[in-house]
A and B are shown apart, each in its own frame.
Chain A
Amino acid sequence: ETGVTQSPTHLIKTRGQQVTLRCSSQSGHNTVSWYQQALGQGPQFIFQYYREEENGRGNFPPRFSGLQFPNYSSELNVNALELDDSALYLCASSLSAGETQYFGPGTRLLVL
């Protein structure tokens, strides 16, 4: 059974650019959640997608957006990158919206 995978592993962007991060959920999981983990802090919830619909959102501005595809993989898009967007972005999948979340290895984004 394949776990949660994320791509790319690392990314460097400049301020003002746009970025797309990708996540493949664990087999059989229909729910994907995205988190941002700044250095030295715990992960912070961005949003969750359940069966291709947004199912809840944390305290992040609209320039953070997402998609979930019919195969339940997901994308996180961030527009107009700011220096403070530099962080580890974690994706977690679960069997359903209320079930235990299993995390991928993350994408480390550096904004210069």
Chain B
Amino acid sequence: DQQVKQNSPSLSVQEGRISILNCDYTNSMFDYFLWYKKYPAEGPTFLISISSIKDKNEDGRFTVFLNKSAKHLSLHIVPSQPGDSAVYFCAAKKINNAGNMLTFGGGTRLMVKP
């Protein structure tokens, strides 16, 4: 049972345009969500997070939106740059659960074309 899903395995966007990466979850106990970016041969790099008490969090070019009723979150990158080309993972957790386990989606490969 996949509790966090990223239904688009890949996304291609033109440089300068908006990239929107989507993530759905099924476990209503999740109350904290994160996005990580992964380049080949490197570990995932933390990008941005959001608590379930908020519906939006912004950090520079990156904005995460959370729709709790739909159990859906999205990452917006504006404007997209070629250096943003990577695999993006969304992750979710229950705050204060044992081990603070992150449950990851399967990833979306973003390609930003110059």
Spell out A's residues near B (CB within 8 Å).
4, 33, 35, 40-45, 47-48, 55-58, 90, 92, 94, 97-98, 100-106
Nearest CB of chain A from residue B97's CB, rounded to whole Å: 7
Query: Is B43's CB under 8 angstroms from A103's CB?
Result: yes
Query: Is A33's CB under 8 angstroms from B100's CB?
Result: yes
Query: Is B43's CB under 8 angstroms from A4's CB?
Result: yes
Checking B44, B89, B100, B104 against A56 with a beta-carbon cut-off of 8 angstroms, the contacting residue is B100
Q: Taking the complex as formed, is B19 at the interface, i.e. its CB lies under 8 A from any CB of chain A? A: no
Spell out B's residues near A (CB within 8 Å).
4, 6, 34, 36, 41-46, 49, 89, 91, 95-107
Question: Which residue of chain A has its CB nearest to the CB of B41?
Answer: A105
Checking A40, A55, A103, A104 against B36 with a beta-carbon cut-off of 8 angstroms, the contacting residue is A103
Question: Which residue of chain A has its CB nearest to the CB of B103?
Answer: A45
Bound form: Cα–Cα A35–B53 in Å? 27
Nearest CB of chain B from residue A79's CB, rounded to whole Å: 21
Known: A4-B43, A104-B43, A105-B43. A42 touches B107 (CB 8 A): yes
